[in-house]
């Protein structure tokens, strides 16, 4: 006989009441932070399989962390990409530029020059170092936090700022949210605000490249939170089924605005382990180690280019700042997290590595930082001549209907005519200058 005390008051039987688990982040504002439970692999300890390895023979790499830079600031183990000092300095220069650019644009938003900006502080290596391992004409399908790719590919800063200001120099004519760049010449697919849509698009592009017998591969970047979207899983299925020449990069920066990574599944397993269920090669990388980021992307690029299959890479990193200029992280996470993050800062680590191998010093670093800041400042001034937010309309009104369709469909023609008419009624003398 069941003890009457065990009786479920809801159902009247003695089966236990069902319950859900709701994830809770490790710390909330004001809480002390302890990352002791985060497993950090020894730099140099991970094996580097051949690029043609079968996914099932390299499962461990989806659960540990590929790391190259040690606490001694030296490079260790088989994943050391052995880059020459000049390339390392170029990489550091791009990362320093991203940081300077982020600082200035963030300030620009606070000064009312643009409506919106997103920094990538702490994640610079995952875009700069990773994209440097690709060919410049490999097609990239980024999310909104990979400004480092454009900077590494030499996209002019002024084009970025014109887009952020939605001014008359903006090649996208103010029709995209600030920071949602697009550049065909730089093989940089238009950024979409609809999370994870870029992932099946990257796989589709890679499939098309293979169908055409081309040699260019595709790579996409997606936040860990966005992997909860169905699109990401469709991308993985198509990638594995057709052995598409594509790299799926997941940036696990621990947060998706105010939702921590647990809501996308991080309490149960790693994001790299998603690869295993699809039969994809999976790598998990210290995202604050620029050399490891480069090496993993290079491994995956070689694999894709040799028709050996797609790779899913998780970069384990930390979003050091707010999600965007519209966010205030002090409302939902402990400010101490940033300081306690056990994998350090990617720019400092690369700088310290160059110093440790006798190829850099603090004076040159200071000069580099100053040069980046001055270049961004001068380019900002230049871009401001094309206009800033709130200083009138920078693009002719009717351009909002153009350029999407080769031939304007009838319903847009009607809307354009109606909008023009309404403006003529409202402002018979023309729109007043603001």
Ligand X SMILES: Cc1ncc(C[n+]2csc(CCOP(=O)(O)OP(=O)(O)O)c2C)c(N)n1
CB of 229 to ligand X, least distance (A): 6
- 226 is a contact residue toward Mg ion (CB under 5 A): no
Residues 381-410 that bind Mg ion (CB under 5 A): none
Q: Which does 303 bind (CB under 5 to 8 A by kind): ligand X, Mg ion, none?
A: none
Using Cβ positions, the residue closest to ligand X within the complex turns out to be 223
- 223 is a contact residue toward Mg ion (CB under 5 A): yes
- Return d(Cα 283, Cα 275) in angstroms, integer: 9
CB of 107 to Mg ion, least distance (A): 24
Using Cβ positions, the residue closest to Mg ion within the complex turns out to be 223
- Using the contact rule CB under 5 A, the part of the chain among 247-255, 290-298, 350-358, 372-380 near Mg ion is 247-255
- Return d(Cα 115, Cα 121) in angstroms, integer: 19
Alpha helices, DSSP H only, in 279-361? 290-305, 336-340, 346-356
Residues 112-151 that bind ligand X (CB under 6 A): 143, 145
Residues 268-327 that bind ligand X (CB under 6 A): 319, 323
Binding footprint of Mg ion, residue count (CB under 5 A): 5
- Is the distance from CB of 127 to CB of 120 less than 8 angstroms? yes
* Cβ nearer to ligand X, comparing 196 with 283: 196
In the list 33, 53, 177, 257, the residue contacting ligand X (rule: CB under 6 A) is 257
- Return d(Cα 140, Cα 134) in angstroms, integer: 9
- 89 is a contact residue toward ligand X (CB under 6 A): no
Distances from the Cα of 339 to the Cαs of 104, 255, 345, in angstroms? Answer: 23, 16, 10
Q: Sort 112 into a burial class: Cβ within 10 Å, 0-12 / 13-18 / 19+.
A: exposed
Token pair recorded at residue 154: 């030499």
Chain centroid to Cα 32, Å, comes to: 28
* Residue-level length of the chain: 434
- Using the contact rule CB under 6 A, the part of the chain among 22-30, 187-195, 371-379, 397-405 near ligand X is 187-195
In the list 105, 125, 179, 195, the residue contacting ligand X (rule: CB under 6 A) is 195
Q: Which residues contact 269 (CB under 8 A, 6 or more apart)?
A: none
* Cβ nearer to Mg ion, comparing 143 with 365: 143
- Return d(Cα 246, Cα 282) in angstroms, integer: 13
CB of 8 to Mg ion, least distance (A): 39
CB of 91 to ligand X, least distance (A): 21
CB of 417 to ligand X, least distance (A): 32
- Is the distance from CB of 99 to CB of 124 less than 8 angstroms? yes
CB of 250 to ligand X, least distance (A): 9
Distances from the Cα of 255 to the Cαs of 225, 250, 258, 410, in angstroms? Answer: 7, 12, 7, 43
Q: Which residues contact 89 (CB under 8 A, 6 or more apart)?
A: 354, 359, 360
- 43 is a contact residue toward Mg ion (CB under 5 A): no
In the list 167, 187, 253, 334, the residue contacting Mg ion (rule: CB under 5 A) is 253
- 194 is a contact residue toward ligand X (CB under 6 A): yes
* Cβ nearer to Mg ion, comparing 178 with 225: 225
* Cβ nearer to Mg ion, comparing 223 with 309: 223
In the list 220, 253, 317, 352, the residue contacting ligand X (rule: CB under 6 A) is 253
Which residues, in sequence order, are bridge partners of residue 202? none
Q: Which does 145 bind (CB under 5 to 8 A by kind): Mg ion, ligand X, none?
A: ligand X
- Return d(Cα 169, Cα 317) in angstroms, integer: 35
- 193 is a contact residue toward ligand X (CB under 6 A): yes
- Return d(Cα 64, Cα 270) in angstroms, integer: 9
Alpha helices, DSSP H only, in 357-430? 362-384, 410-426
- Is the distance from CB of 35 to CB of 340 less than 8 angstroms? yes
Chain centroid to Cα 296, Å, comes to: 16
- Using the contact rule CB under 6 A, the part of the chain among 18-26, 178-186, 255-263, 280-288 near ligand X is 255-263
Residues 197-226 that bind ligand X (CB under 6 A): 223-226
Binding site for ligand X (CB under 6 A): 143, 145, 193-195, 223-226, 251, 253, 255-257, 319, 323
Binding site for Mg ion (CB under 5 A): 223-225, 253, 256
């Amino acid at each position: 006989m069941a003890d009457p005390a065990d009786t479920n008051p809801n159902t009247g039987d003695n089966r236990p009441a069902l319950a859900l688990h709701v994830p809770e982040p490790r710390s909330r504002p004001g809480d002390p932070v302890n990352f002791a439970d985060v497993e950090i692999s020894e730099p140099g300890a991970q094996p580097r399989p051949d690029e043609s390895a079968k996914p099932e023979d390299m499962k461990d790499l989806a659960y540990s962390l590929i790391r190259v830079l040690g606490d001694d600031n030296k490079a260790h183990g088989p994943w050391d990409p052995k880059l020459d000092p000049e390339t390392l300095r170029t990489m550091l220069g791009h990362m320093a530029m991203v940081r300077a650019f982020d600082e200035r644009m963030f300030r620009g938003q606070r000064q009312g020059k643009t409506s919106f900006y997103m920094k990538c502080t702490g994640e610079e290596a995952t875009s700069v170092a990773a994209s440097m391992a690709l060919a410049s004409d490999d097609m990239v399908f980024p999310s909104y936090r990979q400004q480092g790719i454009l900077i590494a590919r030499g996209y002019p800063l002024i084009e970025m700022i014109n887009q952020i200001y939605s001014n008359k120099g903006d090649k996208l004519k103010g029709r995209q949210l600030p920071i949602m760049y697009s550049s065909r010449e730089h093989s940089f697919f238009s950024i979409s605000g609809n999370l994870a849509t870029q992932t099946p698009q990257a796989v589709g592009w890679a499939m098309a490249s293979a169908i055409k017998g081309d040699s260019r591969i595709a790579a996409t970047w997606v936040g860990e939170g966005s992997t909860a979207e169905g699109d990401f899983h469709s991308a993985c299925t198509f990638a594995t089924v057709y052995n598409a020449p594509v790299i799926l990069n997941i940036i696990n920066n621990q947060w998706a605005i105010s939702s921590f990574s647990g809501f996308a599944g991080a309490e149960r397993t790693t994001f790299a382990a998603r690869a295993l269920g699809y039969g994809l090669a999976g790598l998990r990388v210290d995202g604050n180690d620029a050399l490891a980021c480069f090496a993993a992307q290079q491994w995956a690029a070689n694999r894709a280019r040799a028709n050996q299959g797609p790779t899913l890479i998780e970069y384990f990193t930390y979003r050091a700042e707010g999600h965007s200029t519209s966010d205030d992280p002090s409302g939902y996470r402990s400010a101490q997290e940033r300081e306690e993050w056990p994998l350090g800062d990617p720019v400092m680590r690369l700088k310290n590595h160059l110093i440790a191998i006798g190829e850099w010093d603090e004076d040159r670093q200071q000069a580099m930082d100053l040069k980046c800041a001055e270049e961004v400042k001068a380019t900002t001034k230049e871009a401001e001549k094309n206009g800033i937010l709130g200083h009138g309309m920078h693009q002719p009104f009717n351009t909002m209907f153009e350029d999407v369709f080769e031939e304007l469909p009838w319903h847009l023609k009607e809307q354009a005519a109606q909008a023009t008419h309404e403006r003529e009624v409202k402002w018979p003398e023309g729109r007043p200058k603001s």
